[in-house]
């Protein structure tokens, strides 16, 4: 993606909802979704758009969202076709809106889309009763410019949606489609006069006079925003003087938004500098006005006070008259959704180890929901697996909180805290585990009388657990962290075989206590490298919960929490290209950017790997891969483009988070940063291979 390209695009979105869907049985829901899918796929406008890749369907559970990127009228035409086909048999509600959307990756790596364009389409649909096809005012404004649509549209006035968003609504109805009755959510107290979702918002347009193309852009923006219902102010008629200066400053400070038209010559304007500094000062004090810069040149704004002001903001691009419809729609879309802070005062926190429970920087992933659900269901063995520094301990901590919130007992064992001497002898180790569990749960146990050497460590620990479980009717969740440390213990197979036996006992001991026990095991290393008999291992019967690196959407989410130090979508893409989705490195990078201790260019160029925010992490990486000769040789082979022969070493590098396995089954470095750094440190020809 080049800087001159838009970072988002306008989608004309149709949202279809099956009313009362959640009250239906599973079979009824399945039949209704099938009927809706068949109707949509049979509609000529959908078939045509899909043939040229101009539509993106997204399932919504109780319906679907269809994003059209070609013909403006396509969603309205599809709504009519679907309404005529099945509205009599299915209670459908439909809403249409044109607005900004961005392509993202979902948790499975597939393409998805998010943005105001989809959010507002959903909110428009929320006003509909079964049978209605409702349009937002911005979309209706586009449609009214096309011959033949005026007679089908009825202005309904304004509705107040989620977050207080005011949405101008139109009703689409005609012979065999739509519904003529007024939606029940729009009360009679609401004026039927046509209003838009942007009514009464004050927008000031800033510009430098007598510049081309700035004046042309100004005319387009002023005319179209005024038509959409904004209270638009442009300084043209006031006499210059003290009163003029005061009036300009007052208007800027009272505005909901400031649209600044900026070009290379405008960067030199001292008056535009003053006006934009005033807007920034007011925004930092009150959160308003929202500053929306329009950059009217293909190059990037490089230097100067104005460039410094707009650099961290989301910029709109204009390179010619063909951009006018897109530009106006993007501005209207940005103004219609309650804006998030552009420059947030972020209270940073130390990075490393488990993320605190109250941290605003914890990103929830699919694994979180799966983990909590399995705990609630009382499943037997939960296998939380992921590479080093991917967030296993943080997930366990939240699992503990979830467990306690459901009035279940919870115990936590961190094997990393045990010394090597405590892992040498099985009886001492098992007794230590039992004593730790008893202390955490307030359970008194007669070790002197009950811990019988004749039974051996396994049976002694099992007898202890029986009494522990029987002592309280509540289920017990036992969280085990850093379990890899046990793999090299001489009794590892016996211990994990014992855990497996508790799982089996759920079926063999109908009156036993084992149905109340859930064991969550967090680990990184491939267990089969150490477990002698996998058939007696919990690692092939438990529910596997795999922690993955952040996808691009999660990185963007975290970026917002840090106050958006990455102010363009393409900047997030570049950072992810460097560090992948590595959670620790992502937070380290955003923390440094938000704290202004490094620039994005410096991070991406790698000019300070020895002293920058990644330096300590990379030094530890180097130590870990050079600790054993077979590990180092495998890394060097991979750097040279060869296939490493030591499979054991490969699995160790995966578990330590140095390598990942690609979809083609080939080993690759977890991120480009690792490849670059290790290339420079381990290969003599690093300079020649640097750009490989």
Q: Do both 481 and 574 map to the same domain?
A: no
Q: Give the helix/strand (H/E) hosting 444.
A: none
Q: Is the pLDDT of residue 352 over 80?
A: no
Distance of alpha carbon 111 from alpha carbon 109, whole angstroms = 7
Q: Do both 541 and 574 map to the same domain?
A: no
Q: Is the pLDDT of residue 585 over 90?
A: yes
| Phi and psi at residue 404, to the nearest 5° | -70, -30
The distance from CA 633 to its chain's CA centroid, rounded to whole angstroms, is 37
Q: Is the pLDDT of residue 341 over 60?
A: no
| Phi and psi at residue 691, to the nearest 5° | -95, 10
Q: Do both 139 and 283 map to the same domain?
A: no
Q: Tell me, yes or no, whether 4 lies in a domain.
A: no
DSSP state letters, 371-428: HHHHHHTT-SEEEEE--TTSSHHHHHHHHHHHHHHTT-EEEEEEGGGS-GGGGS-HHH
Q: Is the pLDDT of residue 355 over 50?
A: yes
Q: Tell me, yes or no, whether 606 lies in a domain.
A: yes
Q: Which of 546, 577, 611 is the last residue of a domain?
A: 546
pTM: 0.53
Q: Which CATH number belongs to the domain containing residue 292 in this structure?
A: 3.40.50.10140
Confidence category of residue 302, pLDDT binned at 50, 70, 90 = low
Confidence category of residue 106, pLDDT binned at 50, 70, 90 = low
DSSP state letters, 279-319: HHHHHHHHS-SEEEEEE-SSS---SSHHHHHHTTSPPEE--
Residues 6+ apart with CB under 8 A from 43: 78, 81, 82, 85
Q: What is the mean pLDDT of the chain?
A: 84
Q: Is the pLDDT of residue 1 over 70?
A: no
Q: Do both 531 and 597 map to the same domain?
A: no
Predicted local distance difference test score (pLDDT) of residue 345: 45
Predicted local distance difference test score (pLDDT) of residue 532: 56
Q: Do both 503 and 623 map to the same domain?
A: no
Who wins on pLDDT, 315 or 582? 582
Predicted local distance difference test score (pLDDT) of residue 223: 83
- Are 224 and 256 in contact by the 8 Å Cβ rule? The answer is no
Predicted local distance difference test score (pLDDT) of residue 239: 54
Q: Do both 396 and 526 map to the same domain?
A: yes
Distance of alpha carbon 210 from alpha carbon 263, whole angstroms = 12
Q: Is the pLDDT of residue 615 over 70?
A: yes
Q: Do both 129 and 92 map to the same domain?
A: yes
Who wins on pLDDT, 193 or 658? 658
Kindly tell me the burial class for residue 217, based on how many C-beta atoms sit within 10 Å of its own C-beta (0-12, 13-18, 19 or more): buried
Distance of alpha carbon 258 from alpha carbon 313, whole angstroms = 12
Starting from the edge strand earliest in sequence, which strands make up the sheet with 476-481, in order? 409-414, 476-481, 517-523, 381-385, 543-546
Q: Do both 575 and 485 map to the same domain?
A: no
Distance of alpha carbon 221 from alpha carbon 335, whole angstroms = 13
Q: Tell me, yes or no, whether 486 lies in a domain.
A: yes
Q: Which of 117, 152, 172 is the last residue of a domain?
A: 172
Q: Do both 400 and 299 map to the same domain?
A: no
Predicted local distance difference test score (pLDDT) of residue 186: 74
Predicted local distance difference test score (pLDDT) of residue 644: 84
For residue 476, give Cα distances in angstroms to 404, 514, 518: 10, 10, 6
Q: Is the pLDDT of residue 53 over 50?
A: yes
Q: Give the helix/strand (H/E) hosting 684.
A: none
Q: Give the helix/strand (H/E) hosting 13.
A: strand 9-18
Q: State the Cα torsion 455-461-462-468 to the nearest 10°.
A: 130
The average pLDDT across 115-141 equals 90
Most confident segment among 271-275, 304-308, 576-580: 576-580
Predicted local distance difference test score (pLDDT) of residue 104: 66
Q: Tell me, yes or no, whether 59 lies in a domain.
A: yes
Q: Tell me, yes or no, whether 196 lies in a domain.
A: no
For residue 238, give Cα distances in angstroms to 243, 244, 247, 405: 9, 6, 9, 63
For the ranges 162-166, 424-428, 449-453, the lowest mean pLDDT is seen at: 162-166
Who wins on pLDDT, 300 or 540? 540
The average pLDDT across 46-72 equals 90
Confidence category of residue 164, pLDDT binned at 50, 70, 90 = low
Confidence category of residue 110, pLDDT binned at 50, 70, 90 = low
Residue with tokens 């467990």: 403
Q: Is the pLDDT of residue 660 over 60?
A: yes
Q: Tell me, yes or no, whether 452 lies in a domain.
A: yes
Distance of alpha carbon 554 from alpha carbon 579, whole angstroms = 14
Residues of the chain above pLDDT 70, percent: 87
Predicted local distance difference test score (pLDDT) of residue 587: 93
Distance of alpha carbon 290 from alpha carbon 86, whole angstroms = 44
Q: Do both 230 and 262 map to the same domain?
A: yes
The average pLDDT across 122-129 equals 91
Structural domain for 620, as ranges: 569-689
Longest C-alpha distance within the chain, in Å? 101
Q: Do both 113 and 235 map to the same domain?
A: no
Beta strands in 386-542 (DSSP E): 409-414, 476-481, 517-523
Who wins on pLDDT, 269 or 37? 37
Q: Which of 497, 515, 546 is the last residue of a domain?
A: 546
| Domains held by the chain: number | 4
Q: Which CATH number belongs to the domain containing residue 502 in this structure?
A: 3.40.50.300
For residue 650, give Cα distances in angstroms to 333, 439, 583, 654: 49, 40, 22, 6
Confidence category of residue 673, pLDDT binned at 50, 70, 90 = very high
Predicted local distance difference test score (pLDDT) of residue 135: 95
Predicted local distance difference test score (pLDDT) of residue 3: 34
- Are 485 and 530 in contact by the 8 Å Cβ rule? The answer is no
Confidence category of residue 66, pLDDT binned at 50, 70, 90 = very high
The average pLDDT across 493-517 equals 92
The average pLDDT across 270-282 equals 86
pLDDT per residue as tens digits for the range 587-596 = 999 999 988 7
Residues of the chain above pLDDT 90, percent: 36
Predicted local distance difference test score (pLDDT) of residue 529: 53
Q: Tell me, yes or no, whether 187 lies in a domain.
A: no
Predicted local distance difference test score (pLDDT) of residue 664: 67
Q: Is the pLDDT of residue 366 over 80?
A: yes
Q: Is the pLDDT of residue 43 over 70?
A: yes
Q: Which residues of 272-297 are buried (b: 16+ CB within 10 A; e: fewer)?
A: bbbbbebbbebbeeeebbbbbbbbbb
- Residue 289: cis peptide before it, omega within 30 degrees of 0: yes
Residues 6+ apart with CB under 8 A from 666: none
**What letter does residue 177 receive in the DSSP assignment?**
B
Q: Do both 167 and 239 map to the same domain?
A: no
Q: Tell me, yes or no, whether 186 lies in a domain.
A: no
Predicted local distance difference test score (pLDDT) of residue 180: 87
Distance of alpha carbon 563 from alpha carbon 86, whole angstroms = 46
Confidence category of residue 520, pLDDT binned at 50, 70, 90 = very high
The β-bridge partners of 414 are: 481
Q: Is the pLDDT of residue 608 over 70?
A: no
* Secondary structure tally for the chain: helices H, strands E: 25, 20
Query: 3-class DSSP state for residue 104?
Result: strand
Tokens for 559?
Answer: 């970026």
The average pLDDT across 281-307 equals 80
Pair type for strands 9-18 and 63-68: antiparallel
Q: Give the helix/strand (H/E) hosting 39.
A: helix 26-42
The average pLDDT across 131-147 equals 89
**What letter does residue 363 receive in the DSSP assignment?**
P
């Amino acid at each position: 993606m080049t800087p001159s390209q838009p970072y988002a695009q306008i989608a004309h979105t149709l949202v279809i909802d099956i009313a009362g869907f959640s009250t239906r049985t599973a079979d009824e829901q399945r039949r209704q979704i099938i009927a809706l899918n068949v109707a949509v796929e049979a509609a000529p406008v959908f078939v045509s758009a899909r043939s040229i890749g101009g539509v993106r369907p997204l399932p919504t559970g109780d319906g679907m969202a269809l994003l059209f990127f070609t013909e403006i009228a396509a969603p309205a035409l599809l709504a009519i076709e679907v309404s005529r086909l099945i509205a009599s048999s299915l209670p459908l509600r439909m809403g249409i809106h044109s607005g900004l959307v961005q392509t993202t990756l979902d948790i499975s790596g597939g393409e998805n889309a998010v943005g105001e364009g989809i959010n507002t389409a959903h909110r428009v649909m929320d006003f509909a009763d079964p049978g209605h096809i409702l349009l937002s005012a911005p979309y209706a404004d586009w449609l009214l410019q096309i011959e033949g649509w005026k007679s089908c549209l009825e202005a309904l006035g304004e509705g107040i949606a989620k977050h207080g968003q005011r949405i101008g609504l139109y009703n689409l109805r005609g012979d065999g489609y739509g519904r003529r009755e007024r939606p029940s959510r729009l009360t009679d107290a609401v004026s039927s006069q046509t209003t838009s979702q942007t009514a009464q918002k004050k927008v000031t347009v800033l510009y430098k006079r007598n510049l081309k193309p700035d004046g042309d852009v100004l005319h387009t923006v002023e005319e179209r925003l005024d038509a959409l219902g904004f209270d638009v102010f442009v300084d043209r008629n006031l006499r210059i003087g003290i009163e003029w200066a005061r009036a300009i400053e007052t208007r800027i400070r009272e505005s909901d938004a400031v649209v600044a038209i900026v070009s290379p010559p405008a960067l030199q304007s001292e008056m535009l500098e003053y006006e934009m500094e005033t807007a920034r000062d007011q925004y930092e004090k009150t959160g308003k006005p929202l500053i929306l810069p329009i950059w009217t040149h293909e190059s990037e704004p490089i230097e100067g006070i104005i460039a410094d002001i707009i650099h961290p903001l989301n910029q709109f691009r204009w390179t010619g008259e063909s951009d006018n419809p897109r530009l106006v729609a993007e501005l209207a879309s940005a103004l219609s959704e309650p804006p998030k802070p552009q420059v947030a005062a972020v209270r940073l926190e130390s990075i490393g180890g488990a993320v605190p429970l109250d941290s605003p920087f914890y990103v929830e992933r699919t694994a979180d929901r799966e983990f909590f659900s399995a705990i609630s269901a009382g499943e037997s063995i939960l296998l939380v697996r992921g590479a080093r520094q991917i967030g296993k301990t943080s997930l366990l901590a939240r699992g503990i909180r979830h467990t306690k919130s459901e009035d279940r007992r919870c115990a936590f064992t961190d094997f990393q805290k045990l010394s090597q001497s405590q892992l040498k002898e099985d009886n001492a180790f098992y007794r230590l585990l039992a004593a730790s569990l008893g202390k955490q749960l307030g359970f008194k146990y007669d070790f002197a009388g009950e811990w019988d050497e004749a039974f051996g460590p396994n049976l002694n620990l099992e007898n202890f657990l029986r009494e522990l479980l029987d002592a309280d009717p509540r289920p017990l969740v036992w969280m085990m962290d850093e379990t890899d440390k046990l793999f090299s213990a001489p009794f590892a197979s016996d211990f994990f075989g014992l855990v497996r036996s508790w799982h089996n006992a759920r079926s063999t001991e109908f009156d036993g206590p084992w149905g109340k026990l859930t064991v969550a095991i967090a680990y990184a290393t491939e267990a089969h490298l150490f477990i002698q008999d996998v058939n007696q291992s919990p690692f092939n019967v438990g529910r596997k919960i795999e922690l993955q690196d952040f996808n691009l959407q999660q990185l963007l989410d975290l970026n917002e929490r840090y106050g958006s130090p990455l102010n363009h979508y393409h900047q997030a893409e570049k950072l992810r290209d460097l560090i992948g989705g590595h959670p620790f490195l992502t937070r380290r990078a955003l923390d440094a950017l938000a704290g202004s201790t490094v620039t994005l260019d410096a991070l991406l160029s790698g000019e300070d790997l020895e002293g920058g925010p990644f330096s300590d992490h990379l030094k530890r990486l180097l130590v870990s891969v050079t600790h054993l000769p077979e590990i180092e040789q495998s890394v060097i082979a991979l750097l040279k483009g060869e296939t490493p022969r030591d499979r054991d070493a490969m699995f160790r590098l995966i578990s330590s988070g140095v390598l990942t396995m690609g979809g083609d089954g080939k080993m690759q470095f977890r991120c480009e940063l690792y490849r670059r750094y290790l290339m420079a440190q381990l290969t003599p020809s690093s300079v020649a291979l640097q750009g490989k």
